[in-house]
Structure 1
């Protein structure tokens, strides 16, 4: 992995209808990405209190 890569993919499920979880290495915020065919969307992953899930990222 290059040092300039800001996001790390930590989870993948599916192919045509894919769900992925990405972590921002600078902020630690987790993002949920879902794609279905040619459409897709990205949103912060939230806990039950509505706050973003934050993961400690070790270099």
Structure 2
């Protein structure tokens, strides 16, 4: 948190456009946690991406 500043804390793994918005999968470069970010003209949301067992998706060898 107070260590070396990483300008690219989050990177886009995938982007999908649809009629009035988009869906992005973001990866936290410090923790490897995947996030699902949705954006539309109605609003936006951000939530951890879950696997089929309901566990948070973490990319172990990301760093």
Q: TM-score range by the shorter chain?
A: 0.7 to 0.9
Structure 2 match to 1:14: 17
Q: Give unpaired runs (5+ residues) of structure 1.
A: none
The alignment yields a C-alpha RMSD, in angstroms, of 1.5
Q: Aligned residue for 1:41?
A: 45
User: Aligned residue pairs: how many?
Assistant: 56
For residues 4 and 37 of structure 1, what CA distance do their matches in structure 2 show?
Answer: 28
Q: Distance in 2 between matches of 1:7 and 1:28?
A: 9
Aligned structure 1 segments of 4 or more residues deviating by more than 4 angstroms: none
> Aligned equivalents of 1:23 and 1:38: distance in 2?
24
Q: Which TM-score applies when normalising by structure 1?
A: 0.82
Partner of 2:36: 32
Structure 2 unaligned blocks of 5 or more = 1-5
The CA distance in 2 between the partners of 1:11 and 1:49, in whole Å, is 22
